[in-house]
Amino acid sequence: MFTGWNELEWVRHLIDELSNSSIGCHVDGININNISYADDMVLLSPSVSALRRLLSICEVYAEAQGLKYARKSEIMVFKAGAKGYKTMPEVSLCGSPLLRVTSFKYLGHWVNENLGDNKDIGRERRSLSVRCNMLARRFARCTEDVKITLFKVFCQSFYTCSL
């Protein structure tokens, strides 16, 4: 066990272990097997067996650190066009089977098995509409220049940044 480390240092060490394993998806010779932000992690794998090996690294690491995984862990299989798996062998983390989902929310954005973005764009559009309506109500008596500045600050930067 690594004493004196905070949670983010533990996660950083796990990310290093996963990245150095050379298990996962390879793009132009670069191993990409996890996308992580703070303690939120997505594992990427080209096969069930490779995913099980990545999960094993996570399990061994968690046990050594005295950590436990939250029950919110899920599995999603991306589809390539019309190709996809109808049935898939069970995959588990720390003895608990992972629920197979068709979409999940990661860092505020929806990811789905077809790689479509309609759900995420719809959410962004609704959010933009709410912000614009709030500005229109609260600042109806302001000059046009003020309204444009407020729109850029409260609406435009968030909307374009997410897309």
Identify the burial level of 53 via C-beta atoms within 10 angstroms of its C-beta, where 0-12 means exposed, 13-18 middle and 19 or more buried: middle
> Which residue range(s) make up the domain with 48?
7-112
- Provide the 10 A C-beta neighbour count for residue 73: 17
Q: Is the pLDDT reported for residue 161 higher than 60? A: no
Please provide the average confidence, as pLDDT, over all residues in the chain.
81
Q: Mean per-residue pLDDT for 104-113?
A: 81
Based on the domain organization, do 34 and 67 belong to the same domain? yes
Based on the domain organization, do 89 and 137 belong to the same domain? no
> Total domain count for the chain?
2
For residues 44 and 85, the model is more confident at: 44
Q: Mean per-residue pLDDT for 9-14?
A: 82
Q: What pLDDT is attached to residue 152?
A: 80
For residues 155 and 130, the model is more confident at: 130
Based on the domain organization, do 93 and 34 belong to the same domain? yes
Based on the domain organization, do 48 and 91 belong to the same domain? yes
150: which residues sit within 8 A by CB, 6+ positions away? 135, 139, 142
Q: What pLDDT is attached to residue 81?
A: 67
pLDDT tens-digit map of 46-102: 888 999 999 999 999 888 888 777 777 888 888 776 666 677 888 888 888 888 888
Q: What pLDDT is attached to residue 158?
A: 46
Q: Which amino acid is at 141?
A: R
